[in-house]
Structure 1
Amino acid sequence: MVRILVLKRLYNLSDEQMEYQLLDRMSYKRFCGLASAINIPDRTTVWTFENRIGEAGAKVLFDGVSAQLLKRGFIARGGQIIDATLVPAPKQRNSREENKLVKEGAMPADWKPAKRRQKDTDATWTKKHGKSHFGYKLSINVDKKYKVIRKIETGTASIHDSQHFESVFYTLNTSRDVYADRGYTSKGREDWLKDKGYRNQIQRKGTRNKPLSECQQGRNHRIAKTRARVEHVFAAIDQMGGKMVRTIGQARANFTMTMMAACYNLKRLVYFQKAGIEAF
């Protein structure tokens, strides 16, 4: 069943699509160890198993893949890169009054139980580059050398990226360099990194009354060349059928986002083996 969940996440399939693909494709059957159509679980079984293991089960899978990478010598090297990405969820078509009640933690009185089950009251709205986004947020820590996700943290879209910085900070990287974009800069964080003995590679942020100097702009440009490696990770996750979650509620979204990270690391491990890349 775990292999079925891996396939489902690798191609971002719904439960119904997963059942159909298992019936249709011999490659899926072989990967999942299913001999015939009689043994193929239906969509309800897949949904039930996914909800039974929950986020804790996905975290076990993520840790298991990470352990396999460490066992083969792919430890975190070259410095750590921290960043976050928005994970969209299906938009809720609520009225202003309904949204106001949801923000207050209440439910509209005219919502019947069946309708409530189809409403995601955990996902939130945020704005990025002038556009509104609805859903959740995935923060990750990637090592510079192997581009493997070392730690993750999940939350709603409205949470600022910098609030997950400490949660995803990875102390086992062999380098003391810490890379992040200008959204993570703060005097307190710079002092914290200095006290811990880390090299601050967080981009500077200018203000209206105090723009960045030419030297600071050059520093940002140098950091951006390395920091951009984390964008490759997000692009690879997006290629796994897209980042949108087809779930309702924070708990299921956390499961899906954790599975995203686990499956990405699994693909990296397979790539290392096929390409003959050895850790050193």
Structure 2
Amino acid sequence: QTLNNLSDERTEYLINDRLSFMRFLGLGLSDRVPDAKTVWLCQKRLTQTGAIDGLFNRFDATLRNAGYLPMSGQILDATLVAAPKQRNTNAEKADLRAGRIPEDWQDKPANLSHKDRHARWTLKFTKAKRQDDGTMPSSDLAIPFFGYKSHVSIDRKYRFIRKWKTMHAAASDGARLREGLLDKTNTASSVWADTAYRSKANEDFM
């Protein structure tokens, strides 16, 4: 879903329509296909129970047992993950930033199920394009972005994800390195990361 930017409804349709999607899920033509509601419930329950950590650890153990040990150092990077934009009042925004549930939502379960209370706004900087007269703008473009930031650490040898952490988009990159993003089992100690992760605190930690 993430790689193809698919809604739950579109996912249900493509599983029914595409043999490649069926093969990926181990389904045959005569098998029952989960509907959009089932996909949504599965994701919600995985999140609520914290099962993703256990599943990821099983995946990593399978890689190691197959001989794909973390080797040659590691590479850190972060990717922005968009969330649906929301229309909230200033008071609701203040409550959400403070980690509170807005008072008007307490008795409205529908609001709680449809509102993303953890995503945040940040600025995404990108290189400005060359103008028609051939000149380059003097500064980069700052584009508002709402959602999350997914931090991953891959081993340099096989390029498999070994550690990960997801935060709201406004959280600084640097502090994530000290929150379990480094894989201490890697056979080499070298770490590659962009300047967002560089700080004295991180260098002392490493």
TM-score normalised by the shorter chain: which range applies? 0.7 to 0.9
**Structure 2 equivalent of residue 133 of structure 1:** 145
Normalized per residue, the structure richer in helix is 1
Query: Within 5 Å, which residues of 2 pair with 1:100-115?
Result: 100-104=94-98, 105-109=100-104, 112-115=108-111
1:110 positional shift: 7.3
4+ aligned runs moved over 4 Å, structure 1 = none
**Structure 2 equivalent of residue 20 of structure 1:** 13
Task: List per-residue Cα deviations over 1:23-59 (Å, max 9, x = no partner).
Answer: 2233433443434456222222222233333363333
Query: Within 5 Å, which residues of 2 pair with 1:143-162?
Result: 143-162=155-174
In 2: Cα distance, 1:25 partner to 1:120 partner: 31
Task: List per-residue Cα deviations over 1:161-216 (Å, max 9, x = no partner).
Answer: 011102211111111212222222222332333xxxxxxxxxxxxxxxxxxxxxxx
In 2: Cα distance, 1:72 partner to 1:164 partner: 29
8 A Cα contact 1:84 1:137, kept in partner:
yes
1:169 aligns with 2:169: no
Normalized per residue, the structure richer in strand is 2
Q: Which amino acid is the alignment partner of residue 62 of structure 2?
A: Q
Alpha carbons of 1:47 and 1:60: their partners in 2 closer, same or farther (altered >3 Å)?
A: same
Alpha carbons of 1:100 and 1:68: their partners in 2 closer, same or farther (altered >3 Å)?
A: same
The correspondence for 1:87, drawn from 81, 87, 100, is 81
In 2: Cα distance, 1:123 partner to 1:190 partner: 29
The correspondence for 2:154, drawn from 139, 142, 146, is 142
TM-score by length of 1: 0.58
Aligned residues: 186
**Structure 1 equivalent of residue 40 of structure 2:** 47
Q: Which amino acid is the alignment partner of residue 150 of structure 2?
A: L
8 A Cα contact 1:69 1:75, kept in partner:
yes
In 2: Cα distance, 1:98 partner to 1:127 partner: 21
Alpha carbons of 1:157 and 1:45: their partners in 2 closer, same or farther (altered >3 Å)?
A: same
Unaligned runs of 5+ in 2: 126-141
**Structure 2 equivalent of residue 124 of structure 1:** 120
Alpha carbons of 1:102 and 1:189: their partners in 2 closer, same or farther (altered >3 Å)?
A: closer
RMSD: 2.5
1:190 aligns with 2:184: no
Task: List per-residue Cα deviations over 1:137-182 (Å, max 9, x = no partner).
Answer: 1111112222211101111112110111022111111112122222
**Structure 2 equivalent of residue 181 of structure 1:** 194
Percent identity over the alignment is 39
Unaligned runs of 5+ in 1: 1-7, 194-280
Alpha carbons of 1:70 and 1:115: their partners in 2 closer, same or farther (altered >3 Å)?
A: same
Query: Within 5 Å, which residues of 2 pair with 1:124-273?
Result: 124-129=120-125, 130-166=142-178, 167-193=180-206
Alpha carbons of 1:110 and 1:74: their partners in 2 closer, same or farther (altered >3 Å)?
A: closer
Alpha carbons of 1:72 and 1:132: their partners in 2 closer, same or farther (altered >3 Å)?
A: same
In 1: Cα distance, 2:111 partner to 2:51 partner: 28
Alpha carbons of 1:107 and 1:70: their partners in 2 closer, same or farther (altered >3 Å)?
A: same
